[in-house]
C-alpha cells in the first residue's frame, strides 16, 4: 500500500459497521503509513476516526483493517519527514490543491496507520 498515492479509508463506526469510504492522500515514512485531514481536526472523517481509532483501508487491490494512531504531535524530525514526503509526492498538484494537506492544522490532524 505504500506505493499508492491515495487510499480509501473508512473509519469504524461500531464493531460491526464502517462509515463511508473517503479518498485520502497517504505517505510512507520509515516504513509507516501516515494520512492527514486537510480540514484539520474538524474534518468529518477525522472526527469519526477519533471515536474508535479503527478503520479499514483499500489501495492497490489490498484491503486491511487498521488502527489509527494520532501522530499530530510527533517529534519535530518525524513531523518534518512527513511534511517532506507530502511535498515530494503531491506538490505537482499545485499550491491551491495541496495547501490544506500541508497546513499546520493538517499536520496536527495526522494519523499513523497500524495493521490490526
Look at residue 36 in the predicted model and tell me its pLDDT: 94
Report how far residue 81's alpha carbon sits from residue 86's, in angstroms, rounded to the nearest whole number: 9
pLDDT tens, residue by residue, 13-28: 988 899 999 999 999 9
Please report, for the chain, the start and end positions of each structural domain, with discontinuous segments joined by +: 6-92
Instruction: Report the distance separating Cα 114 and Cα 101, nearest Å.
Output: 21
**Is residue 77 a contact partner of residue 28, using CB atoms and an 8 Å limit?**
no
What tens digit of pLDDT does each residue of 52-110 get? Answer: 999 999 998 899 999 999 987 778 899 899 999 999 999 999 988 888 898 999 999 99
- Measure Cα distances from 78 to 21, 52, 81, 84 in Å: 27, 24, 5, 10
Q: In this structure, is the dihedral angle defined by the CA atoms of residues 8, 11, 17 and 20, taken in order, positive or negative?
A: negative
pLDDT at 1 over 60: no
| CA dist 75 → 12, 56, 69, 78, 82 (Å) | 28, 26, 14, 5, 11
Amino acid at each position: 500500500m505504500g506505493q499508492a498515492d491515495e487510499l480509501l479509508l473508512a473509519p469504524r463506526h461500531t464493531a460491526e459497521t464502517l462509515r463511508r469510504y473517503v479518498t485520502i492522500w497517504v505517505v510512507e515514512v520509515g516504513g509507516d503509513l501516515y494520512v492527514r485531514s486537510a480540514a484539520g481536526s474538524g474534518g468529518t472523517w477525522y472526527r469519526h476516526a477519533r471515536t474508535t481509532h479503527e478503520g479499514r483501508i483499500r489501495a492497490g487491490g489490498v484491503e486491511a483493517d487498521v488502527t489509527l494512531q494520532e501522530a499530530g504531535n510527533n517529534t519535530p524530525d518525524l513531523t518534518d519527514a512527513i511534511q517532506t514526503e507530502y511535498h515530494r509526492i503531491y506538490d505537482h498538484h499545485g499550491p491551491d490543491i495541496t495547501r490544506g494537506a500541508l497546513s499546520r492544522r493538517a499536520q496536527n490532524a495526522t494519523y499513523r496507520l497500524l495493521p490490526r
